[in-house]
Chain A
Amino acid sequence: MAWKFEAGIPLSQQIVDRLRRDVISGVYPPGSLFPTVRQLAFSASVNPNTMQKALLMLEEEGLLVTLGTQGRIVTNDTEKIELSKKQCTEAEIGAMIKRAKELSLSRDELIKFIRKGWNENE
């Protein structure tokens, strides 16, 4: 799980996206203790304050819950995680559809490509 950052996008945003994906995919299961700011900052080689900011953003989204001085856990509210998953998926698919349209693909063609690609990926 190496961290890789793209130029020109705020780091905190990239960190939030990455950690959100990890929560949705279950790398950090619901109710589990989340790594500390220091641990995450160290493994990602980023400034601790930037990491802190990212975790606060995830708290605001409701994916993380703070226990005060005891650290943070992933929310137990699985509905919230599902909702986040839905939003992420919609955003990804939306971007894909936009690009498919730019390539003047039809709806059916795109679906065909997705089926084919999905099977090859199994």
Chain B
Amino acid sequence: MNDTPVLQCKNLTKSYKLGTNVLDNFNFSVPKGKIIGLLGPNGCGKSTLLKLVSGLLVPNSGEIEICGIPRSEETNSLISYLPERTYFNSRMRVSELIDYFSDFFPDFDRELAAKMLDDLAIPKGERLRALSKGMKEKVQLVMVMSRRAKLYLLDEPIGGVDPASREYILNTIIGNYSPESSVIITTHLITDIEPVLDEFAFMGWGGTILRAGDADTVRAATGKTLDELFREVFRYAPQNT
């Protein structure tokens, strides 16, 4: 059996400003077949990490390997990335977007995408600018999840969508589960995604992993939900002056 991790980050360092490292000697590894929640306060470097892995940003130093292959053009085809903002041309129609993705990605499953759009009642003939923010987010997520990638990077996938759609989206993530691929999800809505997670990692400032492990084991050991644990780990100390 091949146990090469889907993602491996070694001594990753990234700074936007001299002297301030968003990620500082960051080490992180994601095995196959896992759904992992990357949880941390705003500005701790979650999105930066995903951007580095997807290749939108270049690290100052350190290594990233996808399925054992150093990050490169070649590994891009293994990654399906949902950025925190939509990047689609708002004049495009949803149906054109499907064509676009089919052209770009050989692993794109048109039928799956069409079915999911139908389930979510998104009109395929509509231009993107005619859709609400939540609907646009759904379209984007459908596109990303309709690929047969090895590594899915979902940056705040359920932030702007209503609770009913949230459930559908989480079920989509479960339904797409494959023992060969892994999913990394960043979000603040911990309670919503908690049942879906295998593992979690609490990320503190400077890209330190404060606490990580198997979600269910932690629940058993502490009797707490991840949400409660998160509040505990990241509690702001009251300012006594």
Contact = CB atoms under 8 A, between A and B. Distances in A.
Interface in B127-183: 167, 170-171, 174-175, 177
A48 B216 contact: no
B195 interface: yes
Contact of A46 (B195, B217, B224): B195
Classify chain A: how many residues form its interface, as a range.
Answer: 10 to 19
Interface in B183-241: 195-198, 215-217, 219-220, 223-225, 228
Contacts of A45: 167, 170-171, 174, 195-196
A8 B225 contact: yes
B224 A38 contact: no
Contact of B198 (A9, A13, A44, A49): A49
B14 interface: no
Nearest to B35: A47
Interface string A2-15: 00010111111100
B213 to A, nearest CB: 13
Interface in A32-74: 38, 41-42, 44-50, 53
A47 B196 contact: yes
Contact of A47 (B174, B219, B224): B174
The 5 closest A-B pairs by CB, nearest first: A10-B220, A46-B195, A10-B219, A7-B225, A8-B223
